[in-house]
Homo-oligomer: A and B are copies of this chain.
């Protein structure tokens, strides 16, 4: 649909600000990125290690903790996911013996997820290939200042989606 098509068909509502050509080109390119990059990352991890990109992220976050332990809601925040999604994923990981859940004793409704030895081994095995893929597709594919710009952009957009979320 072009601006002209819509302009002629709506007379009552205020005319929205359509995108300029440059804005549109930037947005279309970004949309292609949003559609393709997650699939490309998933494909590598799935083929070589039977992991989803998101499963990998969860285990990677746990592996960075001194005791390989983190509360569910903190993992959700660290991986930018909903608690519901995380719960489903951790359940699957637990069924595979990669993660273990435990109610925090004496402190109520909270739950910790703990990376098992098998889980750690899995992350350690998967990390090099995953990092190589991230380098190949993104980090080494763009100049350093563009990567810095991507960081600024991403932080600005995420902030607009979830205003006032902790980093």
Q: Is the CB of B132 within 8 A of A27?
A: no
Q: Which residue of B lies closest to A34 (CB)?
A: B38
Interface size on A, residues (CB 8 A): 73
A136-149 toward B: CB 8 Å interface, digit per residue (1/0)? 11111110111111
Report the bound CA distance from A151 to B149 in whole Å: 11
Copies in the complex: 2
A84 within 8 A of B: no
Chain B positions within 8 Å of A140 at CB level:
2-3
Task: Report A1-54 residues with CB < 8 Å from chain B CB.
Answer: 1-6, 9-10, 13, 16-19, 22-23, 25-27, 29-38, 40, 54
Q: Is the CB of A36 within 8 A of B158?
A: yes
Chain B positions within 8 Å of A153 at CB level:
33, 138, 142, 146-147, 149-150
Nearest Cβ on chain B to A135's Cβ, whole angstroms: 6
Q: Which of B2, B147, B149 contacts A136 (CB 8 A)?
A: B2
Nearest Cβ on chain B to A54's Cβ, whole angstroms: 8
A83 within 8 A of B: no
Nearest Cβ on chain B to A23's Cβ, whole angstroms: 5
Q: Which of B16, B26, B31, B64 contacts A139 (CB 8 A)?
A: B26
A88-101 toward B: CB 8 Å interface, digit per residue (1/0)? 00000000000000
| Of A40, A145, A151, most B-chain CB atoms within 10 Å | A151
